[in-house]
């Protein structure tokens, strides 16, 4: 198969509307992820007034907010941002696993792109490294959302 026959999405925002659902817990990291996501979207031409932002208490609550956003007709993709840092108990495993599982379920049930900008890390230092300007996972999730909006539109019209 040649590269020219591979159907791909692109990084053209067109008229797409994006929603960002972000958690408040570990906010100093999540704010950096949000900055990266907004910078990535606007750098590709997305207009700021076509990006909605909602905040939930923590990563556990993200799937419900994302589901509600994905059900809206005026939203084309949802970007989930959060940070779960391992502590001394099993709480990390429950929150991280169920958050990711819930986000995946929303994406499949809604048939809308839901991208994962939720860090699941062992240490604050790892979270800082993944939210810095040069390696920002919020930016990566935003660009993935833009690409998937384009790709799913192409797949639907094939």
Q: What is the pLDDT of residues 45-100, one digit of tens each?
A: 999 999 999 999 999 999 999 999 999 999 999 999 999 999 999 999 999 999 99
Per-residue pLDDT at 3: 66
The answer to whether residue 53 sits within a structural domain is yes
Domain of 126: which CATH number? Answer: 3.40.50.960
Q: Which domain holds residue 86?
A: 16-157
The answer to whether residue 28 sits within a structural domain is yes
Q: Is the per-residue pLDDT at 1 higher than 60? A: no
Number of domains present in the structure of the chain? 1
Catalytic residue from among 24, 91, 101, 154: 91
HEC secondary structure over the chain: CCHHHCCCCCCCCCCCCEEEEEECCCHHHHHHHHHHHHHHHHHCCCCHHHEEEEEECCHHHHHHHHHHHHCCCCCCEEEEEEEEECCCCCHHHHHHHHHHHHHHHHHHHHCCCEEEEEEEECCHHHHHHCCCHHHCHHHHHHHHHHHHHHHHHHHHHC
The answer to whether residue 2 sits within a structural domain is no
The answer to whether residue 136 sits within a structural domain is yes
Concerning whether 118 is annotated as a catalytic residue, the answer is: no
């Amino acid at each position: 198969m040649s590269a020219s026959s591979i159907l791909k999405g692109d990084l053209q925002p067109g008229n797409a509307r994006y929603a960002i659902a972000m958690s408040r817990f570990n906010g100093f990291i999540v704010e950096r992820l949000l900055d990266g996501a907004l910078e990535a979207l606007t750098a590709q031409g997305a207009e700021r007034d076509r990006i909605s932002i909602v905040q939930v208490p923590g990563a556990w609550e993200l799937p419900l907010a994302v589901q509600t956003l994905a059900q809206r007709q005026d939203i084309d993709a949802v970007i989930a941002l959060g940070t779960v840092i391992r502590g001394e108990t099993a709480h990390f495993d429950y929150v991280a696993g169920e958050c990711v599982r819930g986000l995946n379920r929303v994406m499949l049930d809604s048939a809308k792109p839901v991208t994962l900008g939720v860090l699941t890390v062992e240490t604050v230092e790892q979270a800082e490294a993944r939210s810095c300007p040069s390696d920002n996972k919020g930016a990566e999730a935003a660009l993935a959302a833009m690409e998937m909006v384009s790709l799913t539109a192409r797949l639907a019209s094939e």
